[in-house]
């Protein structure tokens, strides 16, 4: 008989509710199940009415979908959060130092800590960024770090999102929804607030304005447009920050600066929070077919006359092969051991690792080096023999395109179902804001939950949902 795998449940232990959840459990037991079901339906109506949707790429109908919201919060103690916060800050500092080094002196490559071949053959590395430092020395103004938990004090970084991390709008809307539905809960349980994130985001972007900025920095959010899967978030953040939401055709070069079209003519822009991928940012420098960016913006950027957040070329830090070197990268730039551990990672570009992965595909999670959103990956234990066989051929054809990791025993947090509470696997994406002299991390972040029983895939595009994340004040 196969031994049933056990998972760390963040709410319950053999002795009863874990400390962070005791007050919540007491409240939950006093609630009428029918009322909670009504509240769950009410939340769905709120999300639909507000327009909190996303699009799934590659779908024929391309219909907008709701991201399911679960009303049972994920709760972290103050002490748990402090460790995560320190670890995320350390990692973000190291990533920024790594990017600065990579595009300038490349000392980490000369030291042999990271193989030069990983950079030379990396599509996300932009030679156009060489010998240039962005205003304030900040490359990753906004970072989303995906963290999983396997035990009481066991946290691992699953991946870094340093290009254009998404999901913070759901973190904010989840909290707003919970506050509206259960105001009495927040008077009983003191939870650190996340509502000041938009204000902190704007302040952080303004602090990164170029030196020649005159007066108060003018910030805009650059979106690819309404058909982008994260358009709701682009619009939401612009509105919450009180800044303009623009598309590429709204911007042009005027007197050596980027300017936005207004009803009173063109106004100089100091900071662009861009949600357009590198390849589409400047058709004169990158993809000449792009209609989403601003022709010539890279020349203005390299002249120091605009701040682009996040900086072009930061995607090299998202690379999952680079990820496998992150503990060494952290130590190289900070002189400290990494507070948050990496997941053991097999680089399929290496013959011995490839052999091991091919021999153990049924037990591993295999990911594309540049993949995101849960696409292009194989979850061995949940895959059919046919899926494994097909993936094996892809792996043999392009081994350098993949890394593999063991299947972790991800922690669970209960979700509310018709039959009561049921455990589901979760991850956590805290959001860090990086300014020249400060890193601000919103307390908690976005908890994504695999709503299908037994599933380890939490991505919304793959059927996952979200929860409100509480960090207790004390």
pLDDT given for residue 46 in this prediction: 84
The domain 344-407 is classified under which CATH number: 1.10.3300.10, 3.40.50.10110, 3.40.50.2300, 3.30.1490.270? 3.30.1490.270
> What's CA 27's distance to the chain center, in Å?
32
Q: What is the DSSP string of 316-373?
A: GGT-HHHHTTHHHHHHHHHSS--SSEEPP-EETTSHHHHHHHHHTGGGEEEEETT--T
| Burial class of residue 453 in the structure, from the number of CB atoms within 10 Å of its CB (0-12 exposed, 13-18 middle, 19+ buried) | exposed
| Burial annotation 111-136 (CB, 10 A radius, 16+ → b, else e) | eeebeeebbeebebbbebbeebebbb
Residue 276, classed as helix, strand or coil, is: coil
User: Which residues neighbour 279 within 8 Å (Cβ) at sequence distance 6 or greater?
Assistant: 286, 287, 290
| Euclidean distance between CA atoms 159 and 331, whole angstroms | 18
Say which residue the tokens 């601003």 belong to: 294
Instruction: State how far the alpha carbon of 134 is from the alpha carbons of 7, 85, 309, in Å.
Output: 44, 25, 10
* Alpha-carbon span 98 to 139, nearest angstrom: 10
| Consecutive H or E run containing 390 | helix 385-397
Q: Is the dihedral of CA 224, 227, 229, 233 positive or negative?
A: positive
With CA atoms as reference, report the closest residue to 239 among 263, 255, 223, 227. Answer: 223
The predicted structure's pLDDT at residue 34: 93
Whole-model pTM above 0.95? no
Nearest to 470 by CA among 258, 179, 105: 179
- Please, which residues have CB within 8 angstroms of residue 413's CB and are 6 or more apart in sequence? 9, 10, 11, 72, 74, 423, 424, 426, 447, 449, 467
Residues 77, 358: Cα–Cα separation, whole Å:
41
Strand partners, 165: none
Q: H/E/C letters for each residue in 45-107?
A: HHHHHHCCEEECCCCCCCCEEECCEEEEEEEECHHHHHHHHHHHHHHHHHHHHHHHHHCCCCH
The Cα diameter of the chain in Å comes to 75
Record the tokens describing residue 224, joined without a space: 């690819």
Strand, coil or helix: 144: strand
Rounded alpha-carbon distances, angstroms, from residue 322 to 116, 156, 331? 11, 16, 14
Domain boundaries, the chain: 17-343+408-471, 344-407
Contact 450, 424 (CB under 8 A): yes
Whole-number pLDDT of residue 2: 40
Query: CA-CA distances (angstroms) from residue 338 to 71, 91, 317, 341, 384?
Result: 34, 8, 16, 6, 37
pLDDT the model gives residue 376: 74
Phi, psi of 425 (to 5 degrees): -75, 145
Is the N-terminal amide bond of 345 cis, ω within 30° of 0? no
CA–CA dist 91, 314 (Å, integer): 14
Helix (H) or strand (E) holding 413: strand 412-417
Q: How does pLDDT run along the chain (474 residues), one tens digit per residue? A: 344 567 999 999 888 999 999 999 999 999 999 999 999 999 888 887 776 765 554 444 445 667 889 999 999 999 999 999 999 999 999 999 999 999 999 999 999 999 999 998 888 999 999 999 999 999 999 999 999 999 999 999 999 999 999 999 999 999 999 999 999 999 999 999 999 999 999 999 999 999 999 899 999 999 999 988 889 999 999 999 999 999 999 999 999 999 999 888 999 999 999 999 999 999 999 999 999 999 999 999 999 999 999 999 999 998 888 999 999 999 999 999 999 999 999 999 999 999 999 999 999 999 988 766 556 789 888 889 999 999 999 999 999 889 999 988 899 999 999 888 999 999 999 999 999 999 999 999 999 999 988 887 787 766 789 999 999 998
Q: Are 238 and 226 in contact (CB under 8 A)?
A: no
């Amino acid at each position: 008989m196969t031994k049933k795998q056990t998972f760390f449940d963040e709410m319950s232990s053999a002795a009863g509710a874990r400390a962070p959840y005791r007050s919540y459990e007491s409240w939950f037991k006093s609630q009428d199940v029918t009322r909670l079901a009504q509240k769950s339906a009410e939340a769905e109506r709120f999300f639909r009415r507000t327009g909190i949707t996303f699009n799934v790429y590659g779908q024929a109908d391309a219909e907008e979908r709701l991201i399911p919201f679960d009303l049972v919060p994920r709760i972290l103690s103050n002490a748990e959060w402090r460790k995560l916060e320190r670890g995320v800050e350390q990692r973000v500092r190291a990533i920024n130092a790594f990017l600065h080094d990579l595009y300038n002196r490349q000392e980490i490559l000369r030291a042999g800590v990271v193989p030069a071949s990983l950079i030379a053959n990396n599509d996300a590395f932009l030679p156009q960024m060489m010998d240039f430092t962005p205003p304030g020395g900040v490359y990753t103004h906004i970072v989303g770090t995906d963290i999983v938990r396997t035990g009481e004090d066991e946290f691992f970084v699953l991946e870094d999102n340093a290009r254009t991390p998404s999901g913070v709008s759901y973190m904010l809307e989840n909290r707003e929804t919970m506050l509206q539905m259960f105001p009495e809960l927040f008077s009983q349980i003191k939870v650190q607030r996340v509502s000041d994130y938009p204000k902190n985001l704007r302040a952080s972007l303004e602090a990164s304005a170029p030196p020649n900025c005159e007066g108060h920095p003018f910030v805009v959010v650059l979106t690819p447009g309404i058909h982008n899967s994260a358009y709701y978030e682009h619009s939401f953040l612009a509105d919450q920050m009180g800044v303009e939401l623009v598309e590429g055709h709204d911007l042009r070069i005027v007197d050596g600066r980027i300017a936005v079209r207004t009803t009173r003519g063109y106004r100089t822009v100091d900071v662009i929070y861009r949600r357009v991928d590198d390849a589409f940012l400047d058709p004169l420098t990158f993809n000449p077919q792009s209609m989403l960016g601003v022709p010539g913006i890279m020349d203005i950027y390299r002249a120091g006359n605009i701040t682009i957040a996040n900086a072009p070329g930061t995607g090299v830090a998202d690379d999952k092969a680079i990820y496998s070197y992150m503990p060494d990268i952290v130590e190289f730039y900070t002189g400290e051991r990494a507070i948050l551990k990496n997941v053991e990672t097999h680089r399929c570009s290496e013959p011995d690792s490839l052999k091991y992965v091919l021999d153990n595909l049924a037990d591993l999670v295999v990911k594309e080096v540049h993949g995101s959103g849960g696409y292009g990956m194989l979850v061995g234990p949940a895959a059919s023999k046919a899926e494994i066989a097909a993936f094996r051929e892809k792996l043999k054809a392009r081994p350098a395109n993949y890394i593999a990791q063991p299947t972790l025993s991800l922690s669970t947090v209960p979700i509310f179902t018709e039959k009561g509470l049921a455990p589901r696997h979760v991850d956590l994406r805290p959001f860090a804001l990086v300014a020249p002299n400060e890193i601000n991390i919103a307390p908690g972040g976005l908890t994504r939950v695999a709503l299908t029983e037994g599933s380890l895939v939490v991505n919304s595009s793959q059927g996952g949902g979200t929860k409100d994340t509480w960090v207790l004040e004390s």
